[in-house]
Structure 1
Amino acid sequence: MNISDKDRFARTLAAFDAANTEDPHQEEVEGKMMPKELVYGQRMSEMLAGFAPEASETLQLSARCQHIQRWTLPRSNYPMDRKGYLKWRTQLKLFHGKKAAEIMETEGYDAEMIERVKFLLNKQKLKSDPETQTLEDVICLVFLKYYFSDFTKQHSEEKLIDIVAKTWGKMSEKGHEAAMQLSFSPEEQHIIQKALA
C-alpha cells in the first residue's frame, strides 16, 4: 500500500468507527462505557491482525464494518421464529454492504474493491473462498472470546451446546486451533467439550 492508499484506508476505518460511535447501546470496557458496535468493530480488527496478519485491505475493511450500524435494524422488527431470524440476517448483510459501499465510495475506492467487501460481508462462498472463511473464523473467535461468557448466563445448556456446535461448524481447522488457545471458565469449557463430543 502506498502512502495515499494508506491514508484512504485510515480515513475509511475512521469513517466506519464514526458511524458506529452513534450506537445508543453501550458496553463497559476497562471501566469506561463505549458504543457497542464501535467496540465490536475494533475487536474484529484486533482479532484479524493476530489471526491473519497478512490480510488484504478489503478483508481488513470487511472485518471493521462487519456490524456497521447494526442497531438500526433490530431483531425485534422481524418475526421471532427461525424464518424471521434468517430474514433479519439476510437484510443485515445487505444493509452492512450498502453502508460500507457508501463510505468506501466517498473515500475514493473503486467498484471492484467495494464489490469485494460486499462479497465478504455477504459471506459468499464460505468454505471455498479463503478470505470469506478467514472473516468467518474471526467472527467466531471474537464471539467466543468476548461474548460467549454472557451467552452462558442467558441460555440453557442445551441451547449453548447447539450454539457452540454451529459456531464450530463454520470454522476452519486454523480457526479451531486458535479457539483452543482462548481462555474459558470451567463452565464454558464443559459446554465446549459437550458440543464437540
Structure 2
Amino acid sequence: MKPTRFEIAIALIDKKNAEDINTYECHGLQFPKELLYSQRMSQKLLQFKPNASRALQIAARAQHICRWKIARDSYPMDRVGYLKWRETLKKMHADITSEILKEVGYDTEFIERVSFLINKKLIKKNEESQTIEDVICLVFLDYYFEEFAEKHSDEKVVDILKKTWVKMSEEGHAEALKIKFSEKSLALVKEAIS
C-alpha cells in the first residue's frame, strides 16, 4: 500500500531531524536530539488530543525541525538576543516544513495553516495554537524538567515553572498534574502553582 502524503511528510520531517549532530541519551541509547524531541511531541499530542487535525500533527512534529542549524550563541546572550533567536528559529522551522509540504503535494491553505501553528500565533485565542503550546510545555515537564531542575537553583526552577504554567490552558494544567514527578519536583511544581 502506498504511503499517504501525511505519512511521507512525517517521514521527511524525521529524515531532516535525524541529521541532528547533537544526541540525547535515553534508556542507554543515543538518539539525534531533535528527532527524539519531535517524536515525543507527536506522542504527547495524540495522548492529549487523540483527534488532532493533520495540520496540528505536522506542526507538532516539525516544531524544532533542524533547530541545531542556528546556534543560540549566534545571537547576543541576553533576553533580547534570546527572543530574536527564537523568532528566527520559528521562521526557519515554518519555511523548511512548508518546503516539505509543497514537495508532497499539500495546498497553500494547508501549508499556511501549519506555518501559523509552528509560529504559535494567537496563543490563548486560537485553540490549535494553544494546544501546541500546551504540548510543548507537557513534553518539557514530562521528559526534560527533572534534568533541568538538577542543573539550576530551586528559585530559577520555580520561576521557569511559573512562566510555563501561565502559557498553558486549564486543560493543559490538568494534564500536567497527571505526570509522575519525583517528590522534589512535585514540591517545586506545587510551589510554582500555589
Category of TM-score, reference length = shorter chain:
over 0.9
Match of 1:147 among 144, 153, 159: 144
Measured against aligned partners, the alpha-carbon deviations of 1:125-145 in whole angstroms (never above 9, x if no partner) come to 100100000111011000000
Which residue identity does 1:123 align to in structure 2? K
Instruction: Provide the C-alpha distance between the structure 2 equivalents of 1:52 and 1:36, rounded to a whole number of angstroms.
Output: 24
TM-score (norm 2): 0.97
The residue that corresponds to 1:20 in the other structure is 17
Match status 1:55 vs 2:72: no
CA distance in 2, matches of 1:117, 1:74: 24
- Superposed CA RMSD: 1.1
1:186 is matched with: 183
Secondary structure of 1:125's match?
Answer: coil
- 1:25-81 CA distances to partner (integer Å, 9 max, x unpaired)? 111222211100000000000001110011000000000000000000111111110
Runs ≥4 residues deviating over 6 A:
none
Paired residue for 2:158?
161
Partner amino acid for 2:44?
M
Amino acid at match of 2:82: Y
Among 35, 39, 50, the alignment partner of 2:36 is 39
| TM-score, length-scaled by structure 1 | 0.96
Per-residue deviation at 1:157?
1.2
- Identify unmatched segments of 5+ residues in structure 2: none
Picking from 72, 85, 90, the partner of 1:75 is 72
Shift of 1:14: 0.2
User: Which of residues 106, 114, 118 in structure 2 aligns to 1:109?
Assistant: 106
Alpha-carbon distance in 2 for matches of 1:9, 1:29: 27
Unaligned runs of 5+ in 1: none
Length, aligned pairs only: 194
